[in-house]
Amino acid sequence: MTDERKILVTGASGYVGGRLVTSLLNDEMNVRVFVRDINKAQSHTWASAVDIAVGNASDYQSTVNALTGIHTAFYLLHSINLGPNFDQIESEMAFNFAKAAESCGVKQIIYLGGINNDEKTSKHLQSRANTGKSLASTTVPVMEIRAGIIIGSGSASFEMLRHLTHRLPIMTTPKWVMNKTHPIAIRDVLWYLKHAAELAKPVSGVFDIGGPEVLTYADMMQKFAKLSGLRKRIIIRVPVLTPKLSSLWIGFVTPVPTGLARPLVGSLISEVVADPKKSLNNLIPPPPEGLTDVERAISLALDKVSSNTVITRWSDATTPTAPWQKAQSDPDWAGESISKDVRVRITDASMKNLWVAIEEIGGDNGYYGADFLWYLRGLLDRMIGGVGLRRGRRDPVHLRVGESLDFWRVESMEPGKSLKLYAEMILPGKAWLEFKIKQLPNGKSQVTQEASYAPLGLIGRLYWWAVAPFHILVFPTMIRNLIRSANRKDYAEANAPVHS
pLDDT tens digits for range 2-28: 457 899 999 888 889 889 999 999 999
Mean pLDDT over each residue of the chain, to the nearest integer: 83
For residue 292, being part of any structural domain is answered with yes
Spatial CA neighbour of 11 closest among 42, 39, 41:
41
CATH number of the domain within which 473 lies: 3.30.530.20
Top pLDDT among 223 and 173 is at 223
Q: 319 pLDDT exceeds 60?
A: no
pLDDT (0 to 100) of residue 253: 65
Is 377 in the same domain as 233?
A: no
Q: 198 pLDDT exceeds 50?
A: yes
DSSP element (H, E) containing 318: none
What letter would DSSP give residue 450?
Answer: E
pLDDT (0 to 100) of residue 424: 87
Is 276 in the same domain as 401?
A: no
Is 230 in the same domain as 345?
A: no
**Which residue type sits at 157?**
S
3-class secondary structure, 381: helix
Q: 241 pLDDT exceeds 60?
A: no
Q: 123 pLDDT exceeds 50?
A: yes
The burial of 81, by beta-carbon neighbours within 10 Å (0-12 exposed, 13-18 middle, 19 or more buried), is given as: middle
CATH number of the domain within which 34 lies: 3.40.50.720
The burial of 113, by beta-carbon neighbours within 10 Å (0-12 exposed, 13-18 middle, 19 or more buried), is given as: buried
Is 268 in the same domain as 350?
A: no
For residue 1, being part of any structural domain is answered with no
pLDDT (0 to 100) of residue 322: 38
Q: What integer is the mean pLDDT of 238-261?
A: 64
Among residues 288, 316, 344, the one where a domain terminates is 316
pLDDT (0 to 100) of residue 141: 96
Q: Are 294 and 420 in contact (CB under 8 A)?
A: no
pLDDT (0 to 100) of residue 382: 80
Is 73 in the same domain as 221?
A: yes
pLDDT (0 to 100) of residue 51: 94
For residue 383, being part of any structural domain is answered with yes
Looking at the 3D structure of the chain, how many domains does it have?
2
For residue 336, being part of any structural domain is answered with yes
Top pLDDT among 226 and 261 is at 226
pLDDT (0 to 100) of residue 316: 64
Q: CA 476 to CA 307: how far, in whole Å?
A: 33
pLDDT (0 to 100) of residue 174: 65
What letter would DSSP give residue 221?
Answer: H
Judged by average pLDDT, the poorest of 239-243, 392-396, 458-462 is: 239-243
Is 361 in the same domain as 430?
A: yes
pLDDT (0 to 100) of residue 250: 66
What are the residues whose beta carbons fall under 8 Å from the beta carbon of 121, sequence distance 6 or more? Answer: 129, 270
pLDDT (0 to 100) of residue 324: 32
What are the residues whose beta carbons fall under 8 Å from the beta carbon of 375, sequence distance 6 or more? Answer: 389
Spatial CA neighbour of 267 closest among 391, 179, 151, 153:
179
Q: Are 319 and 410 in contact (CB under 8 A)?
A: no
Which of 218-232, 386-400, 426-440 has the highest average model confidence (pLDDT)? 426-440
Which of 76-90, 186-200, 418-432 has the highest average model confidence (pLDDT)? 186-200
pLDDT digits (tens, 9 = 90+) for 147-186: 988 888 877 777 777 777 776 777 666 666 778 889 999 9
For residue 325, being part of any structural domain is answered with no
Under the banding of pLDDT at 50, 70 and 90, the label for residue 411 is confident
Among residues 316, 343, 370, the one where a domain terminates is 316
Is 351 in the same domain as 280?
A: no
Q: CA 192 to CA 144: how far, in whole Å?
A: 11
3-class secondary structure, 437: strand
Is 296 in the same domain as 341?
A: no
For residue 238, being part of any structural domain is answered with yes
Q: What integer is the mean pLDDT of 264-269?
A: 65
Among residues 270, 290, 316, the one where a domain terminates is 316
Is 301 in the same domain as 336?
A: no
Range of the domain at 47: 6-316
Question: Where on the phi/psi map is residue 44: left (φ > 0), alpha (ψ -120 to 50), or beta?
Answer: beta
For residue 447, being part of any structural domain is answered with yes
For residue 378, being part of any structural domain is answered with yes
Is 340 in the same domain as 419?
A: yes
Top pLDDT among 122 and 370 is at 370
Is 281 in the same domain as 384?
A: no
Under the banding of pLDDT at 50, 70 and 90, the label for residue 323 is very low
Is 344 in the same domain as 418?
A: yes
Instruction: Report the DSSP pairing between strands 404-405 and 170-173.
Output: unpaired
Under the banding of pLDDT at 50, 70 and 90, the label for residue 329 is very low
